[in-house]
Amino acid sequence: MDPVLNYIDGAFVAAQSGETLDTVNPATGDVITTLPRSGSVDVEAATSAALRASSKWAATSMAERIQWLHRLADALDEDHETIARLESMDTGKPISLARRVDASRSVANFRFFAEFGEQHEEPTFSDHGAVNHVHRSPIGCVGLITPWNLPLYLLTWKVAPAMLMGNTIVAKPSELTPLTAHHLASVMQRIGLPKGVFNLVHGLGPEVGQAMVEHPQIRGISFTGGTATGKIVAATAAPMFKKISLELGGKNATVVLDDAPLDEIMDDLVRASFTNSGQVCLCGSRILVDSAIYEDFKGRFVEAVGRMVIGDPTEESTTMGTVISKDHQQKVESYIRLGVEEGGKVLIGGTSSEAPVDNVPSEGAFLRPTVLEGLSHTSRTATEEIFGPVVTLHSFDNEDEAVAMANATEYGLAGSVWTKDAKRGHAFGQRLDTGIVWVNTWLNRDLRTPFGGVKQSGVGREGGAWSLNFFSELTNICVLQP
Ligand code: NDP
């Protein structure tokens, strides 16, 4: 495969230093290609290009920008299968998942914001003999920093509203997964998007991401990634009074109440636990079950997990591929060992040596889905983000105890509640300290709704009007009526 390059001012270029990094297929350990190891000079070049393009792009009408979003959605839709294959190769996720989630959602993000923009009207308020008009301006040049778990999905979730509101962009994907961002840049070039509107700089977080956050003329940063990195981003950006949106880690609870219809929900609970090898910030990694049904639940859940098909991500029948890298595999395994040290019992799965996956390359970062029980809900295993295919089971005796257990973590991104009684689930959901609660469903997303977390899971919301608010500045113009 050709090397991945930076995309600056409408042209593909290497890092000015000429340095490169390798991107590796986590299922085989093979180097797929190289990407630029960029630095602050490349960020400077990208930012200059974005600033040069800024006033012309900001002056285009909303209707014109909506047309660009539709063109991007159309072009990505044409490349649906290519995108799914690139994403699967770069991340180790099953091809079926990459098609269903990554490729489809990338198209949907552009389509959604195009249609949302078409319906959008600014409010006016009249009082004291005057009319107040809310006027929106772009922020200017914005920086978008994204992680490796849902590479194009999360990048396009930010690019679409940023472009819609008239901003120009400097983006940095994770260096572990540069392929689909590179493909997006090639699509931008193919459809003739004005140069400088979208710029892409590849490289390492502390080198490229940090330079973006420090750059005084990148006036807004939308960041999705880990909580530790989010703290660095916040500390760097705050003294410059930059706008920041931080979508960070999670340790989400899946709460199974005593009336949950176990025979109907087991596949959903497996999906909520192990989609993308548990590497979705919204996955439920702690399952809290009413003690009255705990043993019944445990047996059914372990059996359903045992039916998952783990292996070659290119196979249509595979339901779980690899984790992102060998390093991450080791991190996840260290948590499985910690879980056992903390008193947990492995019900299924384990480390790659205890529970090897058959017929896969030894260089592949494969792990079986692992379920642990017997741990305190305050143990490290049950409160720290593992971001892999590991869940812990805990039992509770009443709803108050379940709420206390669910909230006993520093994170507050999402959670789900499972019950026959939707009203009961709704009431329970209001007691969870999280930004998102699903009742009898999981990862059911209406893109108009606010998305984001509380506590250490982030600051701010994205989605629908919240994205438009983040990617614009508001001026209230109060006009006295004659
Ligand atoms: P990281 O925080 O390690 O990285 C996220 C991005 O930040 C990467 O592009 C990374 O670059 C970059 N980065 C690293 N250091 C800096 C820095 N000093 N300044 C600016 N940017 C920097 O997260 P991961 O990629 O490991 O992703 C997994 C995490 O993302 C999990 O914690 C997960 O919960 C979270 N996440 C949150 C979501 C949400 O919506 N709340 C959604 C998806 C994931 P590089 O990779 O090159 O180091």
Q: Which pLDDT tens digit goes with each residue over 296-332? A: 999 999 999 999 999 999 999 999 999 999 999 999 9
Catalytic residues: 247, 281
Side chain identity at residue 239, one-letter code: P
CA of 147 to the centre of ligand 1 (A): 4
What are the residues whose beta carbons fall under 8 Å from the beta carbon of 410, sequence distance 6 or more? 251, 383, 455, 456
Q: What is the pLDDT of residue 202?
A: 98
Locate all alpha helices (DSSP H) within 37-178, ordered by sequence.
40-59, 62-78, 80-91, 95-97, 104-119, 151-164
User: How far is the centre of ligand 1, averaged over its atoms, from the C-alpha of 87 (Å)?
Assistant: 17
Residue 134: other Cβ atoms inside 10 A: 12
Report the C-alpha gap between 285 and 252 in whole angstroms.
Answer: 6
124-127 and 130-138 as β-strands: parallel, antiparallel, unpaired? antiparallel
Q: Is the CB of 172 under 6 A from ligand 1?
A: yes
From first CA to last CA, the distance across the chain in angstroms is 67
- According to the model, what pLDDT value does residue 313 have? 98
Q: Where are the alpha helices (DSSP H) in 60-103?
A: 62-78, 80-91, 95-97
The pLDDT score that the predictor gives to residue 131 is 97
Atom number of ligand 1 nearest to Cα 203: 47
Span from the CA of 124 to the centroid of ligand 1 (angstroms): 39
pLDDT digits (tens, 9 = 90+) for 111-157: 999 999 999 888 899 999 999 999 999 999 999 999 999 999 999 99
Going from the Cα of 247 to the center of ligand 1, the distance in angstroms, rounded, reads: 9
Beta strands 414-418 and 436-439 are parallel
**Best of 145, 146, 175 for a ligand 1 pocket test (most atoms within 8 Å of beta carbon):** 145
Give the mean pLDDT of 373-393: 98
For residue 140, the model assigns a pLDDT of 98
**Bridge-partner residues for 141, per DSSP?**
168, 218
Measured between alpha carbons, how far is 426 from 435 in angstroms, rounded to an integer?
A: 14
Residue whose tokens read 């959602």:
105
**What average pLDDT score do residues 455-474 get?**
97
Protein residue whose Cα sits closest to atom 33 of ligand 1: 249
Cβ distance 4 to 34 under 8 Å? yes
Which atom of ligand 1 is the closest one to the Cα of 225?
30
Question: What stretches of 258-312 adopt beta strand conformation (E)?
Answer: 284-290
Tokens of 134: 């809310």
Q: How many CB atoms lie within 10 A of CB 481?
A: 8
Tell me, in angstroms, the distance from the centre of ligand 1 to residue 20's CA: 20
The answer, yes or no, to whether any atom of ligand 1 lies below 6 A from the CB of 458, is yes
Q: How far apart, in whole angstroms, are the C-alpha atoms of residue 110 and residue 42?
A: 27
E strand or H helix at 270, and its extent?
Answer: helix 262-274
478, β-bridge pairs: 132
If DSSP codes are grouped into helix, strand and coil, which group holds residue 50?
A: helix
Q: Which of 157, 224, 236, 457 to mutate to test the pocket of ligand 1 (most atoms within 8 A of CB)?
A: 224
The minimum-distance atom of ligand 1 relative to the CA of 147 is: 25
Rounded-to-integer distance, Cα 52 and Cα 92, Å = 38
Long-range contacts: 235-244, Cβ < 8 Å, 24+? 236/210, 237/213, 240/216, 242/213, 242/218, 243/139, 243/219, 243/470, 244/220, 244/459, 244/460
**Any atom of ligand 1 within 6 Å of the Cβ of 429:** no
**CA of 260 relative to ligand 1 center, distance in Å:** 35
71-114 residue pLDDT tens: 999 999 999 999 999 999 999 999 999 999 999 999 999 999 99
The stretches of 342-472 forming alpha helices (DSSP H) are 380-383, 399-406, 422-429, 464-470
The answer to whether the CB of 464 is under 6 A from ligand 1 is no
The CA distance from 40 to 207, in Å, is 7
How far away, in angstroms, is 227 Cα from ligand 1 center? 8
Is the minimum distance from the CB of 409 to ligand 1 under 6 angstroms? no
pLDDT reported for residue 86: 98
Pairing state between β 454-455 and 390-396 = unpaired
Answer whether 6's CB lies under 8 Å from 36's CB.
Answer: yes
Nearest Cα to Cα of residue 48 among 185, 182, 170, 219: 170
Tell me the whole-structure pTM to 2 decimals: 0.97
- Counting from 1 in the atom list of ligand 1, the atom nearest the Cα of 324 is 26
**Per DSSP, what are the bridge partners of residue 138?**
472
Short-list 168, 364, 353, 370, CA closest to 287: 370
244 three-state secondary structure: strand
* Tens digits of residue pLDDT in 330-369: 999 999 999 999 999 999 999 999 999 999 999 999 999 9
Does the Cβ of 452 fall within 6 Å of ligand 1? Answer: no
Ligand 1 pocket member 207 (CB < 6 A): no
Residue 377 CA to its chain's centroid (Å): 26
Q: Is the CB of 145 under 6 A from ligand 1?
A: yes
Q: Which of 221, 214, 206 is nearest to 170 (CA)?
A: 221
> Is the CB of 413 inside a 6 Å radius of any atom of ligand 1?
yes
174 Cβ inside 6 Å of ligand 1: yes
pLDDT single digits (tens) 150-202: 999 999 999 999 999 999 999 999 999 999 999 999 999 999 999 999 999 99
CB 347 within 8 A of CB 372: yes
Question: Phi and psi for 383 in degrees, rounded to 5?
Answer: -125, -20
Shortest-distance atom of ligand 1 to CA 248: 41
pLDDT tens-digit series, residues 32-61: 999 999 999 999 999 999 999 999 999 999
For residue range 241-293, list pLDDT tens digits in order: 999 999 999 999 999 999 999 999 999 999 999 999 999 999 999 999 999 99
Instruction: Look up residue 462 and give its DSSP letter.
Output: B
Q: Are strands 472-480 and 130-138 parallel, antiparallel or unpaired?
A: antiparallel
Q: What's at 420, amino acid-wise?
A: K
Give the residue carrying structure tokens 């003329």.
217
CA of 232 to the centre of ligand 1 (A): 11
pLDDT in tens, 194-244: 999 999 999 999 999 999 999 999 999 999 999 999 999 999 999 999 999
